[in-house]
């Protein structure tokens, strides 16, 4: 019969392996990723410009399987993006260099 002294380390090792599997699964490109950033809106971003961004985002994001929320207040944008890892990286690459805002900071 197995002694508690032997089963204890085995249990710990199973737990460690499980965490490793979990981590590997989280790195899968098909998983959903979330990215949140804040930035300062450009001085010329009015209601019309905001509507243009919204339309552009809605159209592109739908095709890429990305959902999220975009807030503007106090001269700052806050955006949450959720979707496949590669799609999030690609879209954020474009957003980060968009001149309609500046100093994007991923939280």
Ligand X SMILES: Cc1cc2nc3c(=O)[nH]c(=O)nc-3n(C[C@H](O)[C@H](O)[C@H](O)COP(=O)(O)O)c2cc1C
The reply to whether 40 sits near ligand X by the rule CB under 6 A is no
Q: How far is the CB of 85 from ligand X (least distance, A)?
A: 15
- Please enumerate in sequence order all residues whose Cβ is within 8 A of that of 88, keeping only pairs 6 or more positions apart, or say none: 33, 35, 66, 81, 82
Contact with ligand X (CB under 6 A) among 70, 78, 80, 84: 70
* Residue 80 interacting with ligand X (CB under 6 A): no
Question: In this complex, which beta carbon is closest to ligand X, that of residue 14 or of residue 106?
Answer: 106
Pairwise CA distance, residues 5 & 2, whole Å: 8
Q: Assign 3-class secondary structure to 66-86.
A: CEEEEEEECCEEEEEEEEEHH
Q: Choose, by CB under 6 A, the member of 77, 83, 87, 88 that binds ligand X.
A: 77
């Amino acid at each position: 019969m197995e002694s508690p002294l032997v089963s204890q380390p085995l249990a710990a090792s199973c737990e460690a392996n499980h965490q490793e599997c979990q981590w590997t699964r989280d790195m899968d490109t098909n998983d959903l990723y979330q990215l949140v950033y804040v930035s300062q809106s450009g001085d010329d971003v009015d209601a019309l410009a905001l509507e243009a961004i919204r339309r552009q985002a809605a159209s592109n994001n739908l095709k890429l399987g990305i959902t999220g929320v975009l807030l503007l207040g106090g001269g700052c944008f806050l955006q949450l993006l959720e979707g496949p890892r590669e799609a999030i990286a690609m879209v954020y690459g474009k957003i980060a260099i968009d001149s309609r805002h500046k100093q994007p900071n991923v939280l």
